[in-house]
Amino acid sequence: MEDAFANALTHLDAAVAKLKLKPETVALLQQPNRIIQAVLSFTRDDGRRTIVPAYRVQYSNARGPYKGGIRFHPNVELGEIMALAFWMALKCALVELPFGGGKGGVAIDPKLLSEKEKERLSRAYLRAFADVLGPERDVPAPDVGTDEQVMDWMADEYAKVTGRREAAVITGKSLHQGGSRGRETATGRGGFYVLQKMLEKLKRKPESLSFIVQGFGNAGSHFTRLASRIGCKLVGVADSKLAVLASKGKTLDFSAISNAKLERGTVDPCRCAEGKCRCADHRHATPQELLTADGDLLVLAALENQITAANAMSVKAKLILELANAPTAPEADPLLAQQGIMVIPDILANAGGVIVSTFEWQQNRANESWTEADVKQKLQTTLERAFATVWELAKVQRVTLRTAAITLAIKRLADATTKRS
Ligand code: NAD
């Protein structure tokens, strides 16, 4: 068993002890229902063939079909995909979606592929896993390194392989292929709705809150846009290459950073040479330095295991919002709690993506097309309900928001598992 999955299971163990679950229920929750591995072979533009390992993990369908993204990233390995599938099962249960958990991945760097190569790889993935997927079985979606174009290719390949064109087989598609309005921004927007509720509880005005964001991709950038719009002050941002930190008393401008990312692929709003920035309103730093920079809120929107035992005691933020999956290592949690740092856990903070994916699946099945206003309203209602339940449980049981969220999700999964057996 790989570390990432062992880490995930430590959370299960803690909840199991609290809930006093039957051993046979625990045994079912401790492992995925299925692990499917394949070796994909696809043609490069120069005629060579590339062979890569690929996975799909299906985790507890007691509450409904498996659901979860497909990741293209060079570090993909089975333990990580198992952990992510486990978190998807918990997330769907927490926000009461009719799905279990799933995750897929290919160990490859998509940035090194041409569009045509990416298309051949996406279609090869779908062909390898077509017989375990389906609107009632397992419904993939985008994740790190994949996007709506990849989902469109996969939906098209599914139709070719099965002879059935079923939009609901995959979510996160483009609008003209049956995607949902609001899917693109859903994860960042969902995190934003959760933060607003949190600020109400803490009696904090948005204008009084400074924030730093690690990861300026889909989740991080949409969150930053919305939070900046209500007056929260962006004082730090990083992508995988560079961090930019505002000078004391200054705020970073979302539009300048967003334009720099679009036009030049960097979060740096200036054009000074790296390490030689002379701007008065900000300075350059390493992505790692950002995590311990000054700011009230730290938003983690990059990858797993960013806050660890090594840096947890240096975090200065008093609030953490986890838009990424598992960005805090289990051993860092007690260290953060010890310093009074509150963490809004991933399975709540980043559930917006799978919630709107569920809306897409529902629209496809009912042959409907909802307005963006409708999608936003339903997303907000779903997340505010989940936040209120987790907040109350944490208060009553005097536990962290993470413990409350995980315990509640595991109870729902365990109840569904027991009912079924
Ligand atoms: P993305 O690929 O669009 O963006 C990732 C960003 O993180 C990029 O800006 C990249 O440069 C940055 N990054 C990578 N390593 C970094 C590092 N060490 N320091 C600073 N920045 C770094 O991915 P995304 O879709 O925004 O997903 C981000 C995270 O959110 C992932 O953990 C993903 O699983 C999770 N998530 C995403 C969604 C979604 O709908 N997009 C839903 C749920 C969870």
Does 273 have pLDDT greater than 80? no
- Over the stretch 341-358, which tens digit does the pLDDT of each residue have? 999 999 999 999 999 999
Does 276 have pLDDT greater than 90? no
- Backbone angle region of 303, left / alpha / beta, with phi > 0 → left and psi within -120 to 50 → alpha: beta
- Over the stretch 170-204, which tens digit does the pLDDT of each residue have? 999 999 999 999 999 999 999 999 999 999 999 99
**Do 140 and 168 form a contact (C-beta atoms < 8 A)?**
no
> Could you identify the residue written with the tokens 């163990």?
13
Residue 299 is predicted with a pLDDT of 98
> pLDDT exceeding 90 applies to what percent of the chain?
90
**Do 404 and 412 form a contact (C-beta atoms < 8 A)?**
no
Higher pLDDT, 272 or 152: 152
323 C-alpha to center of ligand 1: Å? 8
Q: Phi/psi of residue 337, each to 5°?
A: -60, -40
**Do 319 and 300 form a contact (C-beta atoms < 8 A)?**
no
Residue 1 is predicted with a pLDDT of 43
Cα–Cα distance measured from residue 232 to residue 209, given in angstroms and rounded to the nearest whole number: 5
Domains of the chain: 33-177 (3.40.50.10860), 186-349 (3.40.50.720)
Provide the pairing of β-strand 138-142 with 66-73. Answer: parallel
Closest ligand 1 atom to residue 351 Cα is 43
Residue 312: closest CA among 286, 290, 291:
291
Is the C-beta atom of 218 inside 6 A of ligand 1?
yes
- Over the stretch 114-173, which tens digit does the pLDDT of each residue have? 999 999 999 999 999 999 999 999 999 999 999 999 999 999 999 999 999 999 999 999
Cβ within 8 Å of residue 349, ≥6 positions away: 190, 191, 194, 321, 322, 323
276 annotated active-site: no
**Do 194 and 182 form a contact (C-beta atoms < 8 A)?**
no
- Over the stretch 71-86, which tens digit does the pLDDT of each residue have? 999 999 999 999 999 9
Is the C-beta atom of 187 inside 6 A of ligand 1?
yes
233 C-alpha to center of ligand 1: Å? 21
Which whole-number Å values give the CA distances from 320 to 60, 195, 206, 296, 344, in the listed order? Answer: 29, 10, 15, 9, 6
The catalytic residue among 18, 22, 67, 103 is 103
**Do 172 and 360 form a contact (C-beta atoms < 8 A)?**
yes
**Three-state DSSP state, 206:** helix
Closest ligand 1 atom to residue 288 Cα is 19
Cα–Cα distance measured from residue 384 to residue 12, given in angstroms and rounded to the nearest whole number: 25
Which whole-number Å values give the CA distances from 258 to 24, 79, 252, 263, in the listed order? Answer: 50, 34, 11, 9
Structure-token pair, residue 158: 């599914």
- For the chain, give the mean pLDDT: 95
Which whole-number Å values give the CA distances from 253 to 30, 107, 124, in the listed order? Answer: 45, 35, 42
Average pLDDT over residues 312-326: 97
DSSP single-letter state for residue 146? -
Is the C-beta atom of 285 inside 6 A of ligand 1?
no
Provide the pairing of β-strand 319-322 with 297-300. Answer: parallel
For ligand 1, atom 43: residue with the closest CA: 350
Is the C-beta atom of 223 inside 6 A of ligand 1?
no
Q: Which long-range contacts (CB under 8 A, 24 or more apart) does 22-25 make?
A: 22/418, 24/421, 25/414, 25/417, 25/418
DSSP single-letter state for residue 182? T
Provide the pairing of β-strand 101-107 with 49-59. Answer: antiparallel
> Could you identify the residue written with the tokens 């693109």?
184
Closest ligand 1 atom to residue 346 Cα is 44
Residue 421 is predicted with a pLDDT of 67
**Planar angle of CA 201, 254, 256, nearest 5 degrees:** 170
Residue 292: closest CA among 259, 243, 330, 222:
243
